[in-house]
Structure 1
Amino acid sequence: MASEAGWSCDANDAVHITVVQPGEKKPKTLSTFHPQFTYPIFGDDEQIFGYKGLIIRLRFAAHDLRPHCHISYDEKFKPIGDTQALNLLDTLKPFVQEEAFGNLQDYEKAVQDDPNAKDFKPPGEFVIGYDIGDRKYEVWAGPLADPEVRKLLDRVQVLVSLFIEAGTPLETDDPEWTLERWTVYFVYEKVTPPTPTASSYSIVGYATTYRYWRYQRDLSEAPTVKNGDFPLPEVKVSELPSRIRIAQFLILPSHSRSGHGNQLYTTIHAACIADPTVVELTVEDPNEQFDALRDTADYTLLQPEFLKHNVNLNPDPHGSYSQKKRPRVVPTSALIPTKVLQDIRTSFKIETTQFAHILEMYLLGQIPKSHRLAGGTNLARLLIKKYKATDENDRRYYWWRMLTKQRLYKKHKELLNELELLDRVEKLDATVQNVEEGYEITLDALEARMSEGGAGEDGEGSEGEWEDLREVGAPTGSRDKRVKRKLTVMDDEDEEEDGAGLAKRPKV
């Protein structure tokens, strides 16, 4: 009787994702890479039972993402009672388009001799073009209600399950009014066609955004009952005050570390700023890598504005630093120009918590490093002298910590109030230090990038290392140090029992 041992293989290794384009005689491979995750398809263990030498090759045409799934193996397990090899087709079909399971020769012929390839343009409207080195790229965008946009998204959505932890592919068979709320941004490289009939477009990545209505009542008017005509006139969602939420964001591994993530994010942000109906840009469950990319882009955008308005911490919000009276609350409006900052936030349409992160990072950067924890400042002595410290930069650093603590406490008040006072103080201190460490890493990376003349654009700069394929989705559980913003209130026993909780802590 055959043994079951040795018949399982790693699903991440077995799946090969390939981008192809026409060649001289048959399609040629542009890039091949493995998925980051396969548990949505093959289970938590990410193992496939019943095959030896298994290769599951997912092919995508570079221009229109025409898919094909080809399965090959050396041996297949012969059933023993109820034990049998995994049915690969049944397992893959809920995630891969039906058209992908056709004949390989027919697929290769369709890619090689596509009569529409030469005239192919990405669906939607052209948004922006940009260069990286001597290579040219374009961003196109269109509503999900557009059948061509929907077709491309349907073809590529299997990558959501393979590269975004806990990512969920979009339902594209919803009513048109719902699909109109979605916009899909495609990033393409403009290439020299490999054959006379081939396309000049090659996929780089894509993002999806969702528009949802934000109620804004005119506070100057008292609520009244109005007798108007019924039925009400038709209202288009696109004309209502709305927030835009980035839901999915993918840059192919063959194009990572080149600045495309930053370019795509800033393109989406610019579109929001230009749209008078958009109130705010938000992100759905970003992981740490996307947080870092977003922080970099937003900081680069806001820093000149902060400098223009001379935004800085007031080291003496109550007058002379030597005063003896202890302030009972953090004097926020005396420390920073709150009205100016609110105007900046609303004009750039940045969500409140994200704006607070960027502001805190900027204010920290305005304090000389020798007066910050990263520069070796004597924190114990500062905590004794507090706002009475002799050096104004020490006082700025003290007030910076107090402002950050205040924000953290307000956001997590209910959680923190469950702790004893000493434990609460300890948790806040530890979290502020984590936040500061994350900011320092981002500030150092930004400084290095500036000193290198923006090297991130050619694939070697510090920005690129944050720009991985898994840029938006549920947190990846990465142990990356760059952005340590997790306020953790757990018993030691809980932490040992549930390590998965690391990916589910509230963002601060």
Structure 2
Amino acid sequence: MANEEYKAQTERTRLPDSLLGLSAMEKKLAEYKCDTNEAIKLKLVRFPEDIEDESMTFNPEYSHQIFGDEEVAFGYKGLKILLYYSAGNLSNMFRVEYSSKVDDKFDLVQPDDVENKIRELIPSGFCCGSDDFISLLEKEVNFKPMGTVVHTYTVHNEEAGEDITYQIYKADMTCPGFREYHERLQTFLMWFIETASYIDVDDEKWDYFLVFEKYNKDGATLYATVGYMTVYNYYVYPDKTRPRVSQMLVLPPFQGEGHGAQLLETVHRYYVSASNILDITAEDPSENFVRLRDFVLVKLCQNLPCFSLEKLLCGFSQEMVTEAQEKLKINKKHARRVYEILRLRATDMSDSEKAKAYRLDVKKRLVGPYKKNQREMAKMKQCLRPEELTNQMNQIDLNTQHEQLEESYQQLVEEYRRIVERLAQA
């Protein structure tokens, strides 16, 4: 078979099998496609026996930045991409395993260069064999977190029957060894943040906050990396700074234990003491981050005098805006969400009159974008021809707007209720 025909068949194997017209050769080649989110095996390793413990393995949520939008590697059966990290220093062991490769079976058909794709991601200095990796694990006793401790807390571990101690450190690139450590740490972003990108570490306006677990081995204290956050300090004219959360990640083995809330609350408390801080924001926050921020900000604000029960029932006020900004560096938009959550907690929603008052109060804010559209439409009337105006009016159906507003309200209240439940549990 001619080389060009082989090449064409290889390209077609990247299409879904549901497409018609696959030849027998193409179907055979399609068996060599692997889902990279399943093939990649990540692990945080503390002890040598962890290397072979498959229960400690976790998979990425995303791999498209390395393997393309389809998140597929071609050319292998039984593909395993092992990328292990020592728990503290994040030293790497990396190797590729597979049961068979396409170029062993078919002439002129080349597999994807999986190994080099990963080598381009991880810093140099990794090892490929278990023995070398065990040697790196033995050096973990020498690893100490870089920076300054800004918060210590404990989490009760039901399985172990004991309290586990965690510490949050603030670091920067002037800390010895931190630049190299951060190069290894940031590789996790590619696997767990959909639009991740590496930051410019030479920009001195970055702050880094890191969470570590303290644990003991043979009488020595060791540390395991739990997660981290990066914050960029923007200048605000004339003499203020606005810290903006850029990246935040709690590694999968530690998720669901409250570390994200501890980290975000610690970062807020760190900045509120500085007089030059205007407010604290986040860059393009995900829905999960918004929920986390709601919980943390409500937790911080609930004891402020401006959010007392009596004042909550009187409605959102400038006093709330001012006190939240001055004492906790929370902007007006976020203060409003805090108010709505706390008022929901204070409202007996089984009382129809109280529930109606709450609903109207929240919808008064939600209706803002619709009123803006109406104002824009009023302006259009002065410059649009009749037929153009009719087309625009047809696009703004009032019944549809009311339905959308009610749907937005119900979704918001459901989110708020989850925050209220979490506050009760905390």
- Kept in 2: contact 1:361–1:439 (CA 8 A): no
Correspondence 1:88 to 2:114: yes
**Counterpart mapping for 1:138-177 below 5 A:** 138-172=167-201, 174=202
| CA displacement, residues 341-388 of structure 1 (integer Å, 9 cap, x when unaligned) | 3332343112332222222333344443135xxxxx5xxxxxxxxxxx
- C-alpha displacement of 1:169: 2.2
Query: Deviation digits for residues 3-47 of structure 1, max 9, x if unmatched?
Result: 4130111101100001112347x9675932000011111011111
How far did residue 147 of structure 1 move?
Answer: 4.7
| Greater fraction helix | 2
| Distance in 2 separating the partners of 1:146 and 1:59 | 25
Amino acid aligned to 1:441: E
Shift of 1:395: 4.4
Task: Choose which of 169, 181, 204 in structure 1 pairs with 2:205.
Answer: 181
Which residue number in structure 1 is paired with residue 396 of structure 2? Answer: 423
CA distance in 1, matches of 2:376, 2:57: 48
* Residues 200-231 of structure 1 deviation map (CA, whole Å, 9 limit, x = unaligned): 11111111111111113xxxxxxxxxxxxxxx
Identify the range of structure 1 (156-165 vs 10-19) with the bigger mean alpha-carbon deviation.
Answer: 156-165
| 1:353 corresponds to which of 330, 333, 346 | 333
- Equivalent position of 1:121 in the other structure: 144
CA contact (8 A) 1:190 1:202 kept: yes
The secondary structure found in structure 2 opposite 1:293 is helix
Assess, with a 3 A threshold, how the Cα gap between structure 1 residues 362 and 247 changes in structure 2: closer, same or farther.
same
1:408 Cα deviation (Å)?
6.9
Q: Cα deviations across residues 429-452 of structure 1 (Å, max 9, x unaligned)?
A: 34543443343223433443455x
Letter in 2 for 1:20: V
Mark the CA change 1:33 to 1:105 in structure 2 (over 3 Å): closer, same or farther.
Answer: closer
- Following TM superposition, by how much is the alpha carbon of 1:78 offset from its aligned partner in structure 2, in angstroms? 0.8
Per the alignment, residue 284 of structure 1 pairs with 283
Rounded to whole Å, the distance in 1 between the matches of 2:169 and 2:208 is 8
CA distance in 2: counterparts of 1:126 and 1:415, whole angstroms: 55
For 1:6, the equivalent position in structure 2 comes to 31
Q: For structure 1, which runs of at least 5 residues remain unmatched after alignment?
A: 217-239, 315-334, 372-376, 378-390, 455-508
Deviation at 1:307, TM superposition (A): 3.4
Instruction: Indicate which of 120, 128, 131 corresponds to 2:154.
Output: 131
Aligned residues: 381
User: Are 1:96 and 1:158, in contact at CA under 8 Å, matched by a contact in 2?
Assistant: yes
Deviations 1:223-247 (A, max 9, x none): xxxxxxxxxxxxxxxxx52111111
CA contact (8 A) 1:129 1:138 kept: yes
Separation in 2 of the partners of 1:43 and 1:9?
13
Q: What secondary structure is seen at the aligned counterpart in 1 of 2:135?
A: helix
- Choose from 358, 364, 376 the match for 1:402: 364
Equivalent residue, structure 2, for 1:191: 215
> Which amino acid is 1:52 matched to?
K
Residue 39 of structure 1 corresponds to: 64
What amino acid sits opposite 1:160 in the alignment?
L
1:214 to 208, 233, 236: 236
Distance 1:186 1:113, change over 3 A: same
Aligned pair 1:363/2:343, yes or no?
A: yes
Structure 2 CA distance for aligned equivalents of residues 425 and 148 of structure 1 = 61
Match of 2:159 in 1: none
Residue 192 of structure 1 aligns to a residue in which SS? strand
SS in 2 for 1:310: helix
RMSD over aligned CA atoms reads: 3.1
Q: How does 1:413-452 map to 2 (within 5 A)?
A: 420=393, 423=396, 425-426=398-399, 428-449=401-422, 451=424
SS in 1 for 2:312: coil
> What amino acid sits opposite 2:234 in the alignment?
Y
Query: What percentage of aligned pairs have identical amino acids?
Result: 24
Instruction: Verify the 8 A CA contact 1:58 1:67 in the aligned structure 2.
Output: yes
Aligned 8 A contact 1:140 1:185 in 2: yes
3-state SS of the aligned residue for 2:406? helix
1:65 lines up with 2:90 in the alignment: yes
Query: Structure 2 vs 1, CA of residues 411 and 32 (structure 1 numbering), >3 Å: closer, same or farther?
Result: farther
Query: Structure 2 length normalisation: TM-score?
Result: 0.79
